[in-house]
């Protein structure tokens, strides 16, 4: 695999654990709806909520909202909360209409895996959660903050090529490995065991490195977390940016709630440039199923970028590929979509809203941890040596990208990512 990656290509992405930094732009516009066919959440998160999130309080909308929909349909990135029914309409329908609210019993079983995946935590039914998005978009920070309330057990980046102590039988050999019907036999069992908190001790010990100072700590720590998850009937949270092309598989086959974080491409590419993270598009081009099912239309651009050493070009293209696929998934699956900038600007309010949508208890512990990790007393910018530090002045970090990009680079990034970026960030 190392031959397929350029020097400095994501060198630390799974080596350090912490959180992605937070950067951005926004003062969100209030959502406007002349016909009131969709609801305003009053905060600023762009959130498409799973149909089973807090069923006693939700409004239910039929499937079919698309980025290119009519004026009645909101754009991604506006301050709205849409709750869509995963079963209501066939794929491809465009109209957004309200539907009669379902009973909690009906709303609780949209996935065949739900019966074995959901956990009752403090009287709440909590399904496992997948946190994903492009790398350097904030997945690690978001994942840790969603675990702050104590209801979830955190597992980080099973699909990272650098993760030797993964929940899988072996580490993957390509970044952004795609999981679908063609290859699910290699992964399904291990994810099901993780959801049920069943460890594989013999397999873990076989993978342990002799003389490693970390493995003797990491392995028992994961075992202990799984035992704790079973005893306290917690649910699983997997945080993995490299599963972003497999959202549909996690939703259909495992009954996961999906949380996607989007960060403005200027901030993402600025971070990649600062850290020297190049990306070899052969990681995508060599995955036949991924190309055939999702990315064939991007082949010419990827082949061109594969021969380039320009991180700005690579990062802009990868952002567009990732979030065009996310936009497709928003139409087909129940997805919570949160903007990094909203979480950074108003962390307590936005995380409280996200907790509610995911049916997680937003308790005093969660409030304290989130406040501590986003306080103005923290550093304004993560260090290059530890780019995954999760304690950061989230508001000050909103403008760090300005020091990293020149005018020409800004124009190139915006040109490469429009019109998609305008749909996620219509207020910028």
| Residue-level pLDDT at 216 | 79
Crossing angle (nearest 10°) for helices 247-254 and 188-195: 60
CA distance 309 to 298: 18
CA distance 313 to 296: 19
| Residue-level pLDDT at 110 | 30
Low-confidence spans in the chain with pLDDT less than 70: 1-124
| Segment holding 331, helix H or strand E | helix 311-332
| Segment holding 260, helix H or strand E | strand 257-262
283, 240, 254: which is closest to 190 by C-alpha? Answer: 254
| Residue-level pLDDT at 310 | 95
Each residue's pLDDT tens digit, 83-98: 333 222 222 222 222 2
39-40 and 80-85 strand pairing: antiparallel
Q: Which of 296-309 are b and which e, b meaning 16 or more Cβ less than 10 Å from the residue's Cβ?
A: eebeebbeebbeee
Distance between the two ends of the chain, CA-based, in angstroms?
39
DSSP state of 186: G
DSSP state of 98: B
| Residue-level pLDDT at 218 | 80
246, 236, 256: which is closest to 167 by C-alpha? Answer: 236
| Residue-level pLDDT at 76 | 39
DSSP state of 208: P
39-40 and 119-121 strand pairing: unpaired
CA atoms within 13 A on the CB side of 196: 13
CA distance 298 to 41: 35
CA atoms within 13 A on the CB side of 113: 19
Cα-to-chain-centroid distance, residue 133:
4
CB 75 within 8 Å of CB 426: yes
User: What one-character-per-residue DSSP string does 363-390 give?
Assistant: -HHHHHHHHHHH-TTS-SS--SS-TT--
CA distance 241 to 256: 15
235, 260, 236: which is closest to 246 by C-alpha? Answer: 260
CA atoms within 13 A on the CB side of 84: 29
**Would you call 396 exposed, middle or buried from its count of C-beta atoms within 10 A (0-12, 13-18, 19+)?**
middle
CB 73 within 8 Å of CB 22: no
| Residue-level pLDDT at 15 | 35
| Residue-level pLDDT at 146 | 97
| Residue-level pLDDT at 383 | 81
CA distance 333 to 253: 12
CA distance 275 to 389: 14
Q: Give ∠ CA 409-329-69 in degrees, rounded to 5.
A: 85
CA atoms within 13 A on the CB side of 163: 23
| Phi/psi of residue 268, nearest 5 degrees | -65, -50
CB 279 within 8 Å of CB 318: yes
Each residue's pLDDT tens digit, 288-338: 999 999 999 999 999 999 988 999 999 999 999 999 999 999 999 999 999
DSSP state of 395: T
| Residue-level pLDDT at 80 | 30
């Amino acid at each position: 695999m190392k031959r397929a990656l350029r020097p400095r290509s994501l060198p630390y992405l799974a080596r350090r654990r912490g959180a992605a930094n937070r950067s951005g732009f926004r003062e969100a516009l209030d959502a406007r709806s002349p016909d009131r066919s969709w609801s305003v959440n009053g905060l600023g998160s762009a959130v498409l909520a799973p149909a089973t999130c807090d069923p006693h309080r939700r409004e239910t909308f039929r499937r079919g909202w698309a980025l290119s929909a009519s004026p009645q349909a909101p754009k991604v990135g506006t301050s709205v909360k849409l709750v869509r029914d995963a079963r209501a309409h066939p794929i491809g329908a465009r109209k957004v209409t309200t539907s009669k609210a379902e009973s909690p019993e009906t709303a609780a079983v949209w996935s065949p895996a739900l019966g074995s995946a959901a956990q009752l935590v403090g009287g709440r039914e909590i399904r496992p959660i997948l946190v994903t998005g492009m790398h350097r978009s904030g997945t690690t920070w978001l994942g840790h903050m969603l675990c702050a309330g104590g209801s979830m057990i955190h597992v980080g980046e099973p699909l990272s090529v650098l993760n030797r102590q993964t929940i899988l039988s072996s580490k993957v050999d390509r970044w952004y490995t795609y999981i679908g019907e063609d290859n699910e036999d290699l992964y399904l069992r291990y994810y099901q065991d993780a959801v049920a908190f069943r460890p594989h001790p013999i397999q873990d010990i076989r993978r342990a490195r002799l003389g490693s100072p970390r493995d003797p700590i990491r392995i028992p720590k994961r075992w202990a977390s799984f035992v704790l998850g079973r005893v306290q009937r917690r649910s699983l949270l997997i945080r993995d940016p490299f599963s972003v092309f497999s959202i549909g598989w996690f939703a259909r086959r495992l009954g996961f709630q999906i949380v996607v974080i989007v960060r403005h491409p200027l901030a993402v590419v600025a971070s990649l440039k600062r850290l020297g993270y190049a990306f070899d598009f052969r990681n995508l081009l060599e995955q036949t199923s991924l190309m055939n099912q999702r990315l064939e239309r991007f082949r010419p651009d990827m082949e061109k970028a594969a021969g380039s050493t320009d991180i700005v070009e690579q990062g802009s293209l990868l952002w567009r590929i990732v979030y065009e696929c996310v936009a497709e998934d928003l139409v087909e699956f129940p997805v919570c979509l949160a903007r990094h900038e909203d979480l950074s600007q108003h962390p307590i309010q936005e995380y409280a809203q996200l907790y509610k949508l995911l049916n997680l208890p937003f308790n005093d512990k969660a409030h304290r941890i989130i406040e501590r990790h986003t306080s103005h007393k923290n550093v304004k910018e993560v260090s290059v040596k530890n780019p995954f530090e999760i304690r950061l002045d989230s508001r000050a970090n909103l403008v760090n990208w300005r020091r990293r990009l020149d005018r020409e680079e800004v124009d190139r990034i915006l040109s490469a990512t429009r019109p998609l970026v305008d749909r996620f960030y219509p207020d910028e």
